[in-house]
């Protein structure tokens, strides 16, 4: 088994679970009135996982190839969009939890939108890199 492929596969698997947490948590909160504060923690954690595992992709590339991934054009734009969604979603969830607001549907709509934009950007990043 190739250690490089295993490392990328594990990182990708954890990255995907973060995406599920963010998207699923936000959509579940929109559809159900229960446990929104707990779901906010799930979403916050998911965004954190997205950020850490996204950075790990670059670290792994540098470790195995001696340089960061070679991407350009649309792939760079998609990466920037994904990063902006992750940072925005993380801080928005942290603010929501700090303010102890439990009833704001706009928060959940924005989190769901950020998650879907990030997923769409991920597709462009994958296709154009």
**Model pLDDT for residues 7-18, shown as the tens digit of each residue:** 999 999 999 999
Residues 6 or more apart from 104 whose CB is under 8 A from it? 96
Q: What is the pTM of this model?
A: 0.92
Written as tens digits, the pLDDT of the chain (129 aa) is: 799 999 999 999 999 999 999 999 999 999 987 788 899 999 999 999 999 999 999 999 999 999 988 899 999 999 999 999 999 999 999 999 998 666 688 999 999 999 999 999 999 999 998
Six-digit token string for 15: 């990255």
Give yes or no for a contact between 68 and 62, defined as CB atoms under 8 angstroms apart. yes
């Amino acid at each position: 088994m190739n250690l490089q492929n295993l490392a990328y596969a594990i990182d990708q698997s954890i990255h995907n679970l973060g995406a599920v947490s963010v998207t699923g948590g936000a959509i579940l909160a929109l559809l159900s009135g229960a446990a929104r504060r707990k779901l906010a923690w799930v979403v916050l954690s998911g965004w954190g996982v997205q950020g850490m595992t996204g950075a790990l992709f670059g670290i792994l590339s540098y470790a195995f190839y001696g340089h960061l991934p070679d991407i350009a054009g649309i792939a760079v734009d998609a990466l920037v969009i994904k990063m902006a969604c992750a940072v925005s979603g993380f801080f928005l969830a942290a603010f929501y939890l700090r303010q102890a607001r439990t009833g704001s549907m706009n928060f959940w709509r924005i989190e769901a939108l950020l998650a879907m934009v990030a997923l769409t950007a991920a597709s462009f990043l994958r296709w154009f890199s």
